[in-house]
Amino acid sequence: MYTKNQLVTVTIGDISDTGEGIGHADGFTLFVSRAIPGDTVRARILKAKKTYAIAKAEEIITPAAGRVVPECPVAGSCGGCQLSYMSYEAQLSLKQKKTEDCVRRIGGLADVPVLPILSMENPKAYRNKGQFPVGSSQNGPALGFYAGHSHRIVPTEQCMMLWPGHEKILAAVREYIAVSGAKLYDEESGKGILRHVLMRRGAATREVSVCLVVNGRSIPKPELLWERLRGIDGVVGLCLNVNTAKTNVILGRETIPLFGSVTITDSVGDVMFEISPTSFYQVNPVQMKVLYDTALSYAGLTGNEVVWDLYCGIGTISLFLAKHARRVIGVEIVPDAVADAKANAKRNNLQNAEFYCGAAEEVVPELIANDPSIKPDVVVVDPPRKGCEKSLLETILRMNPTRIVYVSCDPATLARDLRILSDGGYRAVRVQPVDQFPGSVHVETVAELQRR
Ligand code: SAH
């Protein structure tokens, strides 16, 4: 067994789901931070177990072909961009390979074409949402990002992946903390008020909302914060989200308006959306359009179809498709998001879209049992990383749609589910990765399935 602090030379062959380089030496699997596939590194063992060890690259002996010096000052310590040591080309080929490996190995689908990943022309400053933890550090109040695998806050003044200008909001909050005496939340004791700073911007409208997640229902002297925020480009409102639970989950259920608007608006193509701070909304506005256009083309709509959009969030895909379909039915589990989806249908004057709240695996069988006339021609699913519940896939198979469009943020669960749908009588026609998250290990994919 290795011992702590031992130095080991290892060549990295793969990368984990959380961004550590994976290599093998002396019969052990090593998970090495700051190392990428193709590197040979000298790594320091941080934690040794029976079959594997956690290590950190201390010296790059032979760099991988795509290795670059990151531009970001907190690269390596911030847990956000795990691929900051890789050129964009190297990141893209990694994501391509990962998608193919999952489809072939987990899905066992040897012949399905995996199309070349759709990439960004300028893979920086793309994010429309920031989520910054607040807490105490040895050097006083800290506002920044979590380090990888921990809740230690790496103080950050600016993130290269967020829209330019967001740093003014962070500066305003920092000033507010200094002048208001607002206490920062402490995860250990559960004391203190400020937990997270959330900000979201509509790329098309440039509207920005700021939301503080608080351990309570109020903050001291909120006007001192609003004074500082209201002059910043695009800021339309400040609100609080109440989260008094001792949990890793960032958001609580209740949102309290303080100043201006709680929501922002944005548009995708010619559809306008209103977005609550607690609702899911794609973080990359440029690639969001690419993703939805791909989903639309795979849905093959002629205008006569009944389409179900499961895991619909605020109804983005539903409304994007509604103009090309007879009827769209969206299902989503977060009540705020369903309220947004309904309001968004109205706002766009789309009367053929309706939304239901609940877990898709529970709501869909109930809806179809009550009204068989709403049997879908096309089903779109866009589940979280864990993929679809098996029972939902079985319900979809029973409903027997002509096509299924599967939008996924995890190629491993996508591949697992494609296998089930494949065995259930559907042919996976093609799989299209779309790079929604440059800098990060995450891969977004759209797959088209047709009934055999
Ligand atoms: N299609 C939307 C949202 C995708 S994210 C868009 O592109 O914006 C996945 C969504 O699934 C989230 O809004 C989440 O709240 C929702 N969700 C998670 N589990 C669910 C379940 N069991 N049933 C229905 N929706 C669920």
Query: What is the domain partition of the chain in residue ranges?
Result: 7-67, 95-121+284-451, 129-268
Provide mean pLDDT across the span 331-343.
95
Structural class in CATH, domain 129-268 = mainly beta
Q: Is the CB of 282 under 6 A from ligand 1?
A: yes
State the pLDDT at residue 147.
86
Angstrom distance (rounded) from CA 232 to CA 154: 24
Cβ of 312 closer than 6 Å to ligand 1, yes or no, is yes
Let me know if 409 is a catalytic residue.
yes
Kindly write down the DSSP assignment for every residue of 142-157, as one continuous string.
EEEEEBTTS--EEE-S
Q: How far is the CA of 214 from the centre of ligand 1 (A)?
A: 24
pLDDT above 90 (res 150): no
Q: Does the Cβ of 271 fall within 6 Å of ligand 1?
A: no
Q: Measuring CA to CA, how many Å separate 363 from each of 227, 277, 378, 412?
A: 45, 25, 17, 25
End-to-end C-alpha distance for the chain, whole angstroms: 52
Q: Ramachandran region of residue 349, left (φ > 0), alpha (ψ -120 to 50) or beta?
A: left
Pairwise CA distance, residues 356 & 335, whole Å? 9
pLDDT in the model for residue 280: 93
Specify the CATH architecture of the domain 95-121+284-451: 3-Layer(aba) Sandwich (3.40)
Separation of alpha carbons 194 and 189, rounded Å: 14
For a ligand 1 pocket test, name from 311, 318, 336, 391 the mutation site with the most ligand atoms within 8 angstroms of its C-beta.
311
DSSP 310-345: ES-TTTHHHHHHHTTSSEEEEEES-HHHHHHHHHHH
pLDDT band at 44 (very low <50, low <70, confident <90, very high): very high
CA–CA gap between residue 438 and residue 284 (Å, rounded):
9
104 CA distance to ligand 1 middle (Å):
26
Tokens of 14: 């793969």
The pLDDT of residue 38 is: 96
pLDDT tens digits, one per residue of 46-98: 999 999 999 999 999 999 999 999 999 999 888 889 999 999 999 999 999 99
State if residue 413 touches ligand 1 by the CB under 6 angstroms criterion. Answer: no
Whether 19 shows a pLDDT value over 80: the answer reads yes
pLDDT for 84 equals 93
Q: State residue 303's pLDDT score.
A: 97
Of 30, 204, 211, 242, which Cα lies nearest the Cα of 128? 204
CA of 331 to the centre of ligand 1 (A): 8
Exposure letters 161-195 (e unless 16+ CB within 10 A, then b): bbbebbbbbbebbbebbeebebbbbeeeeeebbbb
Return d(Cα 276, Cα 273) in angstroms, integer. Answer: 10
Q: Rounded mean pLDDT of 119-123?
A: 97
pTM of the model: 0.94
pLDDT > 90? residue 1: no
Distance 446 CA to ligand 1 centre (A): 15
Q: What's the token pair of residue 168? A: 């003014």
Label residue 335 exposed, middle or buried (CB < 10 Å: 0-12, 13-18, 19+).
middle
Where on the phi/psi map is residue 38: left (φ > 0), alpha (ψ -120 to 50), or beta?
left
Mean pLDDT of the chain: 95
CA of 374 to the centre of ligand 1 (A): 21
Q: How confident is the model at residue 221 (pLDDT cuts 50, 70, 90)?
A: very high
What confidence category does residue 151 fall into, taking pLDDT thresholds of 50, 70 and 90?
confident
**What are the C-alpha distances in Å from 230 to residues 206, 238, 273?**
14, 9, 22
**pLDDT class for 136, splitting at 50, 70, 90?**
confident
Specify the ligand 1 atom closest to the Cα of 359: 23
Q: Report whether residue 311 contacts ligand 1, using a CB cutoff of 6 Å.
A: yes
Tokens 């308006």 appear where? 257
Percent of the chain past pLDDT 90, that is, above it, reads: 90
CA–CA distance, 206 with 204 (Å, rounded to integer): 6
CATH 3.40.50.450 fits 7-67, yes or no: no
- Three-class secondary structure of residue 209 per DSSP: strand
CATH topology of 7-67 equal to that of 129-268?
yes
Q: Which atom of ligand 1 is nearest to the CA of 384?
A: 9
* Pocket flag, ligand 1, residue 340 (CB < 6 Å): no
Nearest-atom index, ligand 1, CA of 279: 13
Identify the CA nearest to 22 among candidates 48, 57, 61.
57
Decide: 367 in ligand 1 pocket, CB within 6 A: no
- Whether the predicted pLDDT of 137 surpasses 80: no
Ramachandran category for residue 417: left, alpha or beta (phi over 0 → left; psi -120 to 50 → alpha): alpha
CA of 312 to the centre of ligand 1 (A): 5
Average pLDDT over residues 330-335: 96
pLDDT of residue 17: 86
Interhelix angle for 166-180 vs 222-229, to 10°? 150
Query: 316 in ligand 1 pocket by Cβ < 6 Å?
Result: yes
pLDDT band at 142 (very low <50, low <70, confident <90, very high): confident
Minimum CA distance residue for ligand 1 atom 10: 311
Does residue 138 carry a pLDDT above 80?
no
DSSP 116: P
Whether ligand 1 lies within 6 angstroms of the CB of 131 is answered as no
- pLDDT bin (cut points 50, 70, 90) of residue 100 is very high
Round to whole Å and give the CA distance between 141 and 399: 55
